[in-house]
Structure 1
Amino acid sequence: MTVTTEVADICSTLIRIDTTNPGSGERKAAEYVAGLLDEVGIEPTVVESAPQRTNVLARIPGDGTDPDALLIHGHLDVVPADPSEWRLHPFSGEVEDGCVHGRGAVDMKGTLSMTLTAVREWARRGVRPRRDIVLAFVADEEATGEYGAGYVVDNHRDWFAGCTEAISESGGFSWHEGDTRIYPVAVGERGTAWMRLTAKGVAGHGSKPAADNPVVELSRALVRIADHRWPVRVTPAVAALVEGLSRALGTTIDLDRLDEEIERLPQASMLFKGVLRNSANPTMLDAGYKVNVIPGTAQAHVDGRFLPGYRDEFLETIDRLLGPKVTREFVSMGEAVSAPAEGLFDQLRGALLAEDPTGHPVPYVMTGGTDAKAFAQLGIRGYGFAPLLLPPDLNYFGMFHGVDERVPVEGLEFGVRVLDRLLLAETEPSATTEH
């Protein structure tokens, strides 16, 4: 089997292993990954945080060129998918029209397949990376990470000794504005504040005047949150992104009028319009048990996200919008993380340009969150770098948790080549595999 076909085959096989979260767990996928590593002499360690909630860890020694270790992490779980909504079954892993189809193709079994293909080929060729590589294939990223990254950070931190930086999902993909190919490399992500809101009142008969209806109080608070217009806050990373986009597109993007620039640059602005503000979206409601009973309690969940450096402002605003009769508690709280747009970033940029000299790598901030938050607790600086060369008509962001998720085989092959260029010793004559 050649490297070119191997990456698609691994991706397809991983997709066929249903790791829906919540569901039956990640163990089968973890066993498959561990087998692929063991087959080429890379010793895996399998650890379970709970029955069927399984993680795989491994360490590949470097040649000593770089004394610091690099963590490559990715998650085995996927979000649910309704087969009735998909053109091809979401767990078929079918290869059609040059793409691997199925849940996880982009988020993020395709990325796992690129990593596995690269390290397996190194082992077969007997080459070593410039620095120690720690691999972490984890569970539960699509929930809170409690059974995955959070668990290994708390219970197996020795595995990450020497790791100063990490790469994972959601960066290094090609994004098109006209004929210009932009490669956003994530240097940060917004913080996560998933909250449970509770209003308490006086239970009573639904036919009588309500003394204190918690459903009403909670509804008013949710409307205030939904209607709130968060102010624009241009963080240093977003400013660097806008500067990079200006250079790439040969134009000037006005930092003081970014809302207007979104209209002028509909494609490029998708890289920054979601990270100009904090955000809070009501997502779940739970109140009452009978139509003629006013309940004593009403609850809701809100997905809150805050920019690096704006946690306190976010929480102060939320508390003001909630008012005195609604309380909040965190379901999950993860600090915003950031990494410098230099050092490893320059190496990531160079690896992309080596494969696509006409591309334009730029730093950017992710709207959502990843397991980078957990590994940041160990002082590991995380970058979103899952390199993919994509056609202009494929909506990359629409693939995340969307219907008919798919990834081009050529894009996966591109990613393997970029990882080779990034990680293998520069003096190794066959550092970049011929494809």
Structure 2
Amino acid sequence: MITVDEVVQLCQELIRIDTSNPGDHSGPGERVAAEYVAEKLAEVGLEPQIFESHPKRTSLVARIEGEDPSRDALLLHGHLDVVPARKEDWTHDPFGGEIADGCVWGRGAVDMKNMDAMILAVVRQRLREGRKPPRDVVLAFLADEEAGGKWGAQWLVQEHPELFEGCTEAVGEVGGFSLTVPGDRRMYLIETAEKGIAWMQLTADGTAGHGSMVHPDNAVTALAAAVGRLGSHEFPIRLTKTVRAFLERACMAYGVEFDPDDPEKCLAEIGPLARMIGATLRNTLNPTRLDAGYKTNVIPQEATAQVDGRFLPGYEAEFFATVDELLGPDVRRDFVHHDHAVETEYEGALVAAMESSLTSEDSGALPVPYCLSGGTDAKAFARLGMRCYGFAPLRLPPDLDFSGMFHGIDERVPIDGLQFGVRVLDRFLDRA
């Protein structure tokens, strides 16, 4: 039977390894964390392979042989990098891995060293006991997810696709966590879709000149007008199959009527999570950066801005047609980062294994599919034809704003939530 004590120590030790990813190669990288994970896996008989796509940008892959290697394999993946954190903003040291108020605190406690620790704890225990999974399981601990995965999952998929031979399904982050609903029950959100990413740089060209003169060809004016149009535009609601399925089940759990003509009205019932779910009802555009000029009385000949765009599965063409119409002829766009939307069916044996593993540990569990407003390494693995899910199971207290801690301050994960997750993942591997 699985024990749950080790997961807390693993989570603490992973958090104490600073893997901050500022979006370039100036951070500490993932090398130390990858070597730590490799050591933990080698201790129980695996032979992990370490890959360095760029100095210090390091990923690790290992394969566990299953009882029936002829079956399709399952990929379990997690990323080792985290977004940066400033110590002075936090109640506890973001890289201290401290325990306080029944939680492990630190950067990555939510995104996603909690899941890394749960995978490690389950795998180590199973291999110590000689318990093979029913089919081959590939483990991937990855670099660079927080900057789009160019040096992690995307690099491995492009340069070493043979590592994932036979994998038809993948399980990763941002799913499986609970949301308390009336009747002392909990919805567990299983990710089956995520929006596409369009990080864009906008550029307007003009004529340089003296700030004291009349100047109709002003790049700053043209860019500012375009950015204003983008930032104030509201896309129409588009109910994808995943979002509709979530809202129907959420409305049922809260005892309210689902109105397909006004799906937003039920969001008020689900508390802070409404921010994440609300963003999956439509495409979105958010200006994030502006840059122009070098002196107050000099009109620059170029002005630039950056915009974070996200589009729903099936609505990429509509999204870019709208963007180009809003930009107009005087502003051009280039990609900073562009990746596709993904969506898979909420059905089949793997979904049944997730659901039964949750209900075995929580009789009040209500598993539901949902769409993530952000993006994960699932985008890279979907390119290899895998059906991708987010399933990092955590039973959470009703008052914890879990979704609000992604990239926020004071990230923390309840110890009993980690222990719950270990038990669920162990059952899941038996049934997957």
* TM-score, normalising length: structure 1: 0.95
Superposition pairs of residues 163-178 of structure 1, within 5 angstroms? 163-178=167-182
Q: How many angstroms apart in 2 are the aligned matches of 1:351 and 1:412? A: 15
1:249-292 deviations in Å (ceiling 9; x for gaps): 34322121112222455467456312000001001111111122
Report whether the alignment pairs 1:45 with 2:68. no
Output the amino acid matched with 2:260: L
Equivalent position to 1:411, from 417, 424, 428? 417
Three-state SS of the structure 1 residue aligned to 2:147 is coil
The AA in structure 1 aligned to 2:261 is D
Structure-2 residue corresponding to 1:10:
10
Change (3 A) 1:425 1:253: closer
Matches within 5 A, 1:340-351: 340-343=345-348, 344-351=350-357
Q: Does 1:309 align with 2:314?
A: yes
Asked whether the 8 Å contact 2:202–2:332 carries over to 1, the reply is yes
- TM-aligned CA deviation for residue 144 of structure 1: 2.1
Unmatched 5+ residue regions in structure 2?
none
Tell me what 1:136 maps to: 140
Match of 2:219 in 1: 214
Q: Which runs of 4+ in 1 moved over 4 A?
A: 267-271
Is the contact made by 1:66 and 1:130 (CA closer than 8 Å) also made in structure 2?
A: no
CA distance in 2, matches of 1:390, 1:191: 28
- What corresponds to 2:429 in structure 1? 423
Are the structure 2 counterparts of residues 390 and 422 from structure 1 closer, same or farther at C-alpha, using a change threshold of 3 Å? Answer: same
Cα distance, 1:3 vs. partner?
3.7
- Relative to structure 1, the CA distance from residue 246 to residue 262 in structure 2 (aligned partners, 3 Å threshold; closer, same or farther) is closer
Q: Within 1, Cα distance between the matches of 2:333 and 2:95?
A: 38
Match of 2:377 among 358, 371, 376: 371
1:282 aligned counterpart, secondary structure: strand
Q: Distance in 2 between the 1:51 and 1:63 partners?
A: 37
Instruction: Tell me what 1:323 maps to.
Output: 328
The code of the aligned residue for 2:360 comes to A
In 1, the alpha carbon distance for the partners of 2:369 and 2:70 equals 23
Equivalent-residue separation in structure 2 for 1:88 and 1:416 (angstroms): 25
Write the distance in 2 (CA, Å) between the matches of 1:274 and 1:358: 27
User: What is the Cα deviation at residue 84 of structure 1?
Assistant: 0.7
For the residues of structure 2 that align with 1:286 and 1:267, how far apart are their CA atoms? 33
Encode CA deviations 1:317-365: one digit per residue, 9 max, x unaligned: 0001111100001111111101110012222111111111111100100
Q: Which residue of the other structure, out of 260, 278, 281, is the alignment partner of 2:283?
A: 278
Range with bigger deviation, 351-360 or 244-253: 244-253
CA contact (8 A) 2:272 2:403 kept: no
The equivalent residue for 1:102 is 106
Aligned residue runs from structure 1 range 186-335, under 5 A: 186-266=191-271, 269-270=274-275, 272-335=277-340
Q: Distance in 2 between matches of 1:99 and 1:395?
A: 13
Q: Would you say 1:354 and 2:360 are equivalent positions?
A: yes
Contact residue 75 and residue 140 of structure 1 kept, 8 A: yes
- 8 Å CA contact 2:254–2:269 kept in 1: the answer is no
Q: Secondary structure at the match of 2:146?
A: coil
The AA in structure 2 aligned to 1:13 is E
Residues in 1 aligned to 2:7 and 2:179: alpha-carbon distance in whole angstroms: 22
The alignment status of 1:77 with 2:81, answered yes or no, reads yes
SS at match of 2:114: helix
**Which whole-Å CA distance do the structure 1 matches of 2:427 and 2:31 have between them?**
32
SS in 2 for 1:398: helix
Cα deviation for residue 65 of structure 1 reads: 8.1
- State how far apart, in whole Å, the 2-side matches of 1:62 and 1:287 are: 57
1:429 — aligned with what? Answer: none
What SS class does the counterpart of residue 275 from structure 1 fall into? coil
Aligned to 2:53, the other structure's residue is in SS state strand
Q: Deviations over 1:9-61 (max 9, x none)?
A: 01000100000002121100011011000011111000000000000000001
**Shift of residue 247, structure 1, vs aligned partner:** 3.2
Gaps of 5+ in 1: 427-435
Deviation at 1:208, TM superposition (A): 1.7
Q: Secondary structure of 1:32's match?
A: helix
**Contact (CA 8 Å) 2:180, 2:186: kept in 1 or not?**
yes
Q: Which residue of 2 aligns with 1:113?
A: 117
Deviation of 1:123 after TM superposition, in Å, equals: 0.7
Q: In the comparison of the two structures, how many residue pairs are matched?
A: 425
* Secondary structure of 2:15 counterpart: helix
Residues 400-419 of structure 1 deviation map (CA, whole Å, 9 limit, x = unaligned): 00110000111011111111
Amino acid at match of 2:190: V
> 1:204 deviation in Å?
1.1
Q: Is the Cα contact below 8 Å between 1:128 and 1:425 reproduced in 2?
A: no
Q: Secondary structure at the match of 1:72?
A: strand
- Residues 7 and 413 in structure 1, CA contact (< 8 A), matched pair in contact too: yes
Letter in 2 for 1:228: H
Asked whether the 8 Å contact 2:288–2:307 carries over to 1, the reply is yes
- State the AA in 2 paired with 1:157: P
CA distance in 2, matches of 1:269, 1:204: 48
The 5-angstrom pairing of residues 55-66 of structure 1 reads: 55-64=59-68
Q: What corresponds to 1:432 in structure 2?
A: none
Q: Does the 8 Å contact 1:170/1:384 carry over to 2?
A: yes
Aligned counterparts of 2:223 and 2:71: Cα–Cα separation in 1: 54
Deviations 1:199-242 (A, max 9, x none): 11111112222241111111101110111111000011111112
- Contact 2:339–2:379, Cα closer than 8 Å, also in 1: yes
2:78–2:141 CA contact under 8 A, matched in 1? yes
Give the whole-Å Cα distance in 1 for the aligned partners of 2:36 and 2:77.
Answer: 16
Match of 2:389 in 1: 383
Q: 1: CA distance between counterparts of 2:3 and 2:352? A: 27
- The Cα RMSD (Å) is 1.5
